[in-house]
Structure 1
Amino acid sequence: MKQTSELDEKSTLVKAPVLRVEDFDVESYHDGVVVLDFAKNVLALNQTAADLLPGDWSGPFPVQLGAVFPEMSEEYEWLSRLVHEKSCHGNQIVNLSRAGKMRTLLVDSSFLRGQAGEQVGMCLFLKDIGNIVSLEQKIQHNEILATVGKIAAGVAHEIRNPLTSIKGFLQIMRHELDKQGMQKEYSYTDVMLREIDRVNELVGELLLLSKPRELRMERIEMEELIMAMAPLISSEAILNNIEFHLSLKSVPQVYADPEMLKQIFLNLVKNGIESMNETPGGKLIISTDYMPQERMVRVDVQDRGPGIPHYLVDRIFDAFFTTKETGTGLGLPICQRLVNDLGGRIKVRTKGFGTTFSVYLPALSE
């Protein structure tokens, strides 16, 4: 590696096994660089590495590892092990958390040598590959979703055809039972028709997951769209004894399919209300904001439910995954699919109390 050979040349400046901070010019490297001796001292570290690694690196060098990382932390254990074992690695993948955000780093390490060729320290090169990993995961998720969608489409068509016949004959039977005054048997048909409608609704969701509907794009005022939906959402909230609030800012227009947007927001609202069914003091908030740096309009659907366990957050957009007894596991994957079709993205933030789904959509020029 070019970087390694350049640093090896610099190591000839070291006159003795004791390394000096001034021997290293690490700011010239694009990747993160960390220089360590075998006494667990960090001798030099550039700004890129300081941005990638947790801990406070503002103090003077050298600095002991234990002064930056708690001795029981993963970071301390990782770096201590490298120094103690004097082991170098190429293309090592390390996951570290900084400011609550998990970073995936590609690490190359090499020895620093003195004049006599002896090992006097180690140098680590760090590269943030989080975006690459995230892209690979997204591609893999989309491929799985596309496969599930194709299977679902075939199954849905096979289910819908016999359902139509069953529903038709059931309605005829229902009429005859009513004429003959067989009210008990007539009441059974109510249950059967409701269940058929439920299956039809599921079939419709499967078809929607399998392929996008034809988009009817137009300029949309987000405030007008949400206000038009507000009475429906409010009535549903009242039925479930939940407070409903709007916090709408003035934001730029978006170019999208209004019916598709309504379906996205209603799905998220339904999801939020269902999560608060067993939580007293439920509250649902829809808010809007504008992200000028990203040129994106953000719509938040926030609930005060119990939140999503951290170990399940990565699975909530998987088709057919659900924690609800009567859920289909299709609502959130459909929302994600529709948002992607509109050129946006959807994110989730959750904690011990409450969950927020944020829909980001490209803003039109102001």
Structure 2
Amino acid sequence: MTPPTLEGLLKWILTALAVSLALFLLGTRFYQGYGDLRTQALRDSDLVGEVVTRLPSVAAEGWLSRLGPAWKVSTPPLAEGPVDRILRSADGKDWGLTLNRQALFAELVEENRYLLVLGMIGLLASVEIAVFLAYGITRPLRRLSWGCSQLARGRSVRLPLGRGVSFELSHVTGVFNDLAEQMERWRRVQGRIVRMDRLAALGELVAGVAHEIRNPLASMRIHLDLLADRLRDRPELEGHLEALGVEMDRLGRTVDQFLAFARPRPPRRERLQPRDLLEWTARMVGSQGSRGNVRVVLEAPPAPLPFWGDEDQLRQLLLNLGLNALKAMEEGGTLTLELQETPEELRFAVEDTGKGIPEKLVDRVFEPFVTTRPDGTGLGLSIAQRIAQDHGGNLSCRTSPGGTRFILILPRQEEPHEEGDGLS
């Protein structure tokens, strides 16, 4: 058997209280009204009785008719059963008076018919109010129950602080939100620790593999150059040698990316002009973008405040984002390089008008070896995120079918008192 819900119990309890209160008020009003009518009927019978005792029977019957429906008159007095009182005229005739309670109640109902209608309306309204109160009380509790179930499933949730809620329920909701935020922070920390452990193990493996590839690759490049010198008189082989050189260079760049990912260099502290970084990036990607019908737009303050960072690493980061944006716009479009600044931080943005990142990869774009291109290594954005974090900042992504926007936020580092490597 399914146990009753709290809302159902509250509805029954509040409805019962509302009905009981309404019936109590109506019952009290009718009881008082009936008492007043009975008192008035007894008073009338006393007055008529005093007159009847002084009159003959013929005249007395006229006065008895004035008692109205509140009294039943019988003669002889006990002909219809027990009576409430007996009256005797001056000539000795007796009448029995019986209080007509049905007539009194009918008169009471007639006098209070509007009150009965209002009472029924009030009764229905009280039931509706009881249901509304039950819903208002249990709604925050149902919301808390739903939030707990979401937390149990490992989902991030925050409950709104509803208006018109009691202080206790509002306080409990606030405590729940604090608990949910704390659990979310712990979940992110735990995920970061797991990710760092995985990256550390992966980095050692990648570094070993890249080192084993780099040495023979360098030897192959040297021998290819020697072979090209000896075969200068064989022009039919020039294309093959050039293709080998291009592929070796591409493989070398891939190995360099693996090593940069596995053994990152700590950033240097250099005084940099943020606009210069964007202008350099615009020149680098602009030469390639013009061939692909891509327009490069630079939006930056004319003289932004300088900051401290590693120029080579930040150039690598921005260039990587710019080249990715170009590859996302194979049919042309607009590449926007944007800079916004505050006294506390710098906000770089690289935005394209391509097709966007597939939804299933949005949350994983900064993971190693995750790529949307068949020829990509999946390390560029992972290295870019690490550079941003090494500078005390963060790299985030927003995407839609109409384009992708990468946002790099860097804090303004304090000017170092002594020359040295590394960012604090």
Question: Is 2:399 aligned against 1:356?
Answer: no
CA distance change for structure 1 residues 357 and 39 in 2, over 3 Å: closer, same or farther? same
Find 1:155's aligned residue among 209, 213, 224.
209
**CA distance in 2 between partners of 1:269 and 1:299 (Å):** 12
**CA distance in 2 between partners of 1:237 and 1:89 (Å):** 50
- Name 1:317's counterpart in structure 2: 366
1:218-241 deviation digits (Å, cap 9, x = unpaired): 122211222233322221211221
Contact 1:252 1:363 (8 Å CA) reproduced: no
Aligned-pair CA distance for 1:274:
0.5
- Name 2:135's counterpart in structure 1: 41
- For 1:147, give the aligned amino acid: A
CA distance change for structure 1 residues 304 and 207 in 2, over 3 Å: closer, same or farther? same
From the two aligned structures, give the one with the greater strand fraction: 1
- Name 1:25's counterpart in structure 2: none
CA distance change for structure 1 residues 263 and 184 in 2, over 3 Å: closer, same or farther? same
1:164-187 deviation digits (Å, cap 9, x = unpaired): 111111222222221xx3222232
- Name 1:269's counterpart in structure 2: 322
Q: TM-score, normalised by structure 2?
A: 0.58
- Name 2:187's counterpart in structure 1: 133
**CA distance in 2 between partners of 1:362 and 1:274 (Å):** 29
- For 1:327, give the aligned amino acid: G
Tell which structure's C-alpha radius of gyration is larger: 2
CA distance change for structure 1 residues 40 and 210 in 2, over 3 Å: closer, same or farther? farther
- Name 1:69's counterpart in structure 2: none
5+ residue gaps, structure 1, are: 1-13, 20-36, 50-64, 66-74, 83-87, 96-102, 107-122
Contact 1:212 1:341 (8 Å CA) reproduced: no
Q: TM-score, normalised by structure 1?
A: 0.66
**CA distance in 1 between partners of 2:133 and 2:258 (Å):** 60
Matches within 5 A, 1:179-258: 181-249=233-301, 251-258=304-311
- For 1:144, give the aligned amino acid: R
Matches within 5 A, 1:1-366: 17-18=13-14, 41-43=135-137, 79=146, 92-93=152-153, 95=155, 103-104=156-157, 125-126=176-177, 127-128=179-180, 129-178=183-232, 181-249=233-301, 251-277=304-330, 279-280=331-332, 282-291=333-342, 295-364=344-413
Aligned-pair CA distance for 1:328:
1.1
1:292-345 deviation digits (Å, cap 9, x = unpaired): 6xx221100001110112221111111111121211111111101111111111
5+ residue gaps, structure 2, are: 1-9, 16-130, 160-171, 416-424
CA distance change for structure 1 residues 261 and 91 in 2, over 3 Å: closer, same or farther? closer
**CA distance in 2 between partners of 1:135 and 1:358 (Å):** 22
